[in-house]
Structure 1
Amino acid sequence: MHERTSIKRVVVAYTGELDTSLAIRELSRSGIDVITVTVDVGQGDDLADIRERALSLGALRAHVIDARDEFVRRFIVPSLQASALQDGVYPLSAHLTRALVAGRLVSIARMESASTILHGSTSDRSRLEAPIRALDSSIEVTTVQQFTPDALSAASAHWARELGINIGGDSWSRHVDVNLWGRSIELGPLPTAGGRLPDEMFVLTRPVAEAPDDPAFVDIEFAGGTPIKLNGIDMPLLEIIESLETIAGSHGVGRLERSVASAADGVCVEVHEAPSAVVLHAAHDALERIVIDRERAEQKMAISRRYAELVASGGWFDAARAEMDTFVATLQPAVAGVVRAKLHKGECTIVSGHSTTTDDAHRRRATVG
């Protein structure tokens, strides 16, 4: 257990999970002020219920923040325009939310005069801790497990029933990250990696075998590198993301499996479901290739790799990312036009696209496919 004698007030990143719930209760019973922060990034949880649970466990205050629009504007759009995909394939959904949550945690900690931030992430602590430390190195950040007695953790099933928390019957169900940009599941080492994963693991995408035989076609219009219309209808980007999730997911698009080599565990597997992200990245990149020259396209490709690596390592607030954003921003005014995507049996294929930019220096009428 962590030495808590000098701690007077803590901010806790709270999503309602068991370990963090137990820590809130133990800390409050020890006379420490507990301030919880729950951030809505489109995960679909009952946030009012989570707030009430935090207060019932002894939290002094429970902040619930709707950050969906901020997530779209400040995190999804820049990563989309930067073509930032891990290994050139996998959307950065979980890494983006960690950066957003880190910013909110630091802001609340400063407002509440708290010297410590606690969180419940154990699989990859750096995703959240690195951006927190980048924003404010004076704040101590660690996991709630440091403040939870071993005896309580050992009796997790009992305390889950006591607190009305569903901890899930499968070990993978405790390592799911959900937000507007998709779902990611950290499965850890699997002896049967590459084999068929259980259907109940997937929520946003149909199995390819059950997807419709007839394809769907969607037209996505961009202005300044940002999606503004879907099938000719003006929509906020949040609604475009939600609509594409339904359409593309029903055709099995966006289901990805990533194997990651680990010195400690061998091969670990991550599963991603990101229908909207897969379609919008494909559409944006296809349109951008129409309107920029080869030299800048090569520069952009190199930047995209570095951008994804930096964000995945917790470096969202690094000055290097801001510099890359500056270059990417010079390309986006020309990324205006309409792209048509075919969604069929798990595949997203760009079948056509044309630029509508009025900048003569960038104008190129073309069809892609």
Structure 2
Amino acid sequence: MSKPRKIALAYSGGLDTSVILKWLQDVYQAEVVTFTADIGQGEELDHVRPKAQQLGVKEIFIDDLREEFVRDFVFPMFRANAVYEGEYLLGTSIARPLIAKRLVEIARQTGCDAIAHGATGKGNDQVRFELTAYALWPEAKIIAPWREWDLNSRERLLAYAEAHGIPIAKKKDGGSPYSMDANALHISYEGGGLEDPWWCPPDDIWRLTVNPEDAPDEPEYVTIAFERGDAVAVNGQRLSPYGVLDALNRLGAKHGIGRLDIVENRYVGIKSRGCYETPGGTILLKAHRAIESITLDREQAHLKDDLMPRYARLIYNGYWFSPERRALQALIDDTQTRVNGEVRMKLFKGNVYNAGRRSQDSLFDATLSTFEDDRGAYNQKDAEGFIRLNGLRLRTGAKRDRR
């Protein structure tokens, strides 16, 4: 790869990308354009512009992508009820394709001949960023400093930052901070003591949610309205996609909902331990499945459940812009045309419970499911032939085995 003249950097303003910014300037002698995505991390963005300016950056992009993030990435994913390895709600995974998409747009807009990111050579994010970039800009030149330099520990990064006058917030005890990623869907924590899977993190690690033990002693009920599989209102108030998730985040955080401590399998083959807080997403997933339970045909629901683990892996592994994810999305979205109605959820001490669901498009028929007089709506004798036909292969096999 020829030496680039101008590089667009995905810049968070944290330890890694602040060091990368200076390193790119020194090693490549190139002009650097920074891009920071506002996808709901809030106050973390306050320091981004002055820090980039301090390091000599002239073109600084800080884009508010909160609505696009929830509308075009989070909500489509939740239509699929996507969960990776049975627990992880993909909060980091689903943000990367949007960030990489906008980074490519800015690079081309500003005449950059390369892009750079701060993902390590051990993690999933390098794959997510680069697969997205190649899908949208096949000729992209990509610089991944973690695969080039020798600053391969947080201590070395901190030393580099100190030597070059790059301000970095440290923990009060002077140790390295956790590696954290925050957006409108979640916040994640890695590194530090979490690298020991037996170590139990202290309560002060959590930043979004109250300790479930300290949550209110009375449950709270929330009603969520859905249209075509997407949440559109909370407690009767119609909101934008980001507004819905923000409202659910506040409610979930208040009741200690959405904490997770898992060891997951990274795409590159490494097991990784992380803690996550996804308060609004945890409520939303439960509510979406509840409204689907009365509006989806049985085989639609079962087909979605069969496909969901593969869909989740595609997102986790960085294939959001792949043809197979698009094909699955088209199928999933087709199932959502009648997923309309309201769900009432009970929030209490870190838990979410279904407390009612209703829909004009409901397939639930009380005259069929009742244990009382069904007034002839269902002929129970029909079940005898149904069972005998479905048992035919079992009886045939048993006779063979007996022989």
Residue identity in the other structure for 2:65:
A
* Separation of aligned partners in 2, 1:19 and 1:177: 12
Q: Structure 2 residue aligned with 1:17, among 5, 14, 25?
A: 14
Once the two structures are TM-superposed, the CA of residue 21 in structure 1 deviates from its matched residue by: 2.3
1:166 partner amino acid: A
Q: Does 1:57 align with 2:60?
A: no
Whether the aligned pair in 1 keeps the contact of 2:223 and 2:342 (CA below 8 Å) is yes
Please say if residues 245 and 275 of structure 1, whose CA atoms lie closer than 8 Å, have aligned partners that are also in contact: yes
Q: Distance in 2 between matches of 1:127 and 1:63?
A: 21
Alignment-derived partner of residue 95 in structure 1: 93
Partner of 1:72 in structure 2? 70
Kept in 2, the 8 Å contact 1:185–1:270? The answer is: yes
Change (3 A) 1:225 1:194: farther
| Cross-structure match for 1:303 | 307
Q: For residues 344 and 68 of structure 1, what CA distance do their matches in structure 2 show? A: 28
How many residue pairs were aligned? 359
Return the match for 2:283 from 279, 285, 288: 279
State which drifts further: 53-62 or 290-299.
53-62
* Secondary structure of the corresponding residue to residue 221 of structure 1: strand
Q: Which amino acid aligns with 1:154?
A: R
What amino acid maps onto 1:337 in structure 2? G
> Which amino acid letter does the alignment assign opposite residue 348 of structure 1?
V
Change (3 A) 1:87 1:142: same
Q: Name the structure 2 match of 1:201.
A: 205
Task: Determine if contact 2:224/2:233 at 8 Å carries over to the other structure.
Answer: yes
Greater shift, 273-282 or 250-259, is seen at 250-259
Amino acid of the residue matched to residue 272 of structure 2? C
State the Cα distance separating 1:283 from its structure 2 match.
Answer: 0.3
CA shift for structure 1 position 231:
1.3
Q: 2: CA distance between counterparts of 1:191 and 1:354?
A: 45
Tell me, yes or no, if structure 1 residue 323 matches structure 2 residue 327. Answer: yes
Encode CA deviations 1:294-327: one digit per residue, 9 max, x unaligned.
1111111122111101000000001111111111
In the alignment, is residue 163 of structure 1 matched against residue 160 of structure 2?
A: no
TM-score for both structures, normalised by structure 1: 0.88
Alpha-carbon distance, 1:92 to partner: 1.1
Q: Contact 2:155 / 2:176 at 8 angstroms: preserved in 1?
A: no
Instruction: For structure 1, list consecutive stretches of 5 or more residues without a partner in the other structure.
Output: none
Separation in 1, partners of 2:156, 2:327? 47
* Partner SS state of residue 177, structure 1: strand
Alignment TM-score, normalising by the size of structure 2: 0.81
Instruction: Tell me the SS of whatever aligns to 1:94.
Output: coil
Instruction: For 2:174 and 2:68, locate their aligned partners in 1 and report how far apart those are by CA, in whole Å.
Output: 33
1:158 Cα deviation after fit = 6.7
CA-based RMSD of the aligned residues comes to 2.8
- Going by fraction, where is strand more abundant, 1 or 2? 1
Deviations 1:213-234 (A, max 9, x none): 2111111111111111111222
Q: CA deviation at 1:159?
A: 2.8
Q: Distance in 1 between matches of 2:68 and 2:180?
A: 22
Separation of aligned partners in 2, 1:242 and 1:277: 10
Q: CA 1:39/1:187 → structure 2, altered by over 3 Å: closer, same or farther?
A: same
Paired position in structure 2 for 1:154: 156
For 1:131 and 1:263, locate their aligned partners in 2 and report how far apart those are by CA, in whole Å: 15
C-alpha deviations, 1:41-67, integer Å up to 9, x for none? 011245353122212212231111110
Moved more, 304-313 or 10-19: 10-19
User: CA distance change for structure 1 residues 263 and 84 in 2, over 3 Å: closer, same or farther?
Assistant: closer
SS for the counterpart of 1:350 is: strand
1:131 partnered with 2:132: yes
Instruction: For residue 76 of structure 1, give the secondary structure of its aligned residue in structure 2.
Output: helix
SS of 2:85's partner is coil
**1:71-115 CA-partner distances (Å, limit 9, x unpaired):** 011101100111111123321110111110010111111112222
Match of 1:313 among 317, 324, 328: 317
Partner of residue 354 from structure 1, selected from 358, 361, 368 = 358
The Cα offsets for residues 192-244 of structure 1, whole Å up to 9 and x where unpaired, read as 52553211110111222212221111111111111111112222222221121
Answer whether contact 1:19 1:145 (CA < 8 A) is retained: no
1:129/1:266 CA distance change after superposition, 3 Å: closer
Q: Is the 8 A contact 1:255 1:274 kept in 2?
A: yes
Deviation at residue 28 of structure 1 after TM alignment: 3.4
Task: Work out the percentage of aligned pairs sharing the same amino acid.
Answer: 31
Measured after TM superposition, the shift of residue 163 of structure 1 is 2.4
Q: What is the identity, as a one-letter code, of the residue corresponding to 2:200? A: R
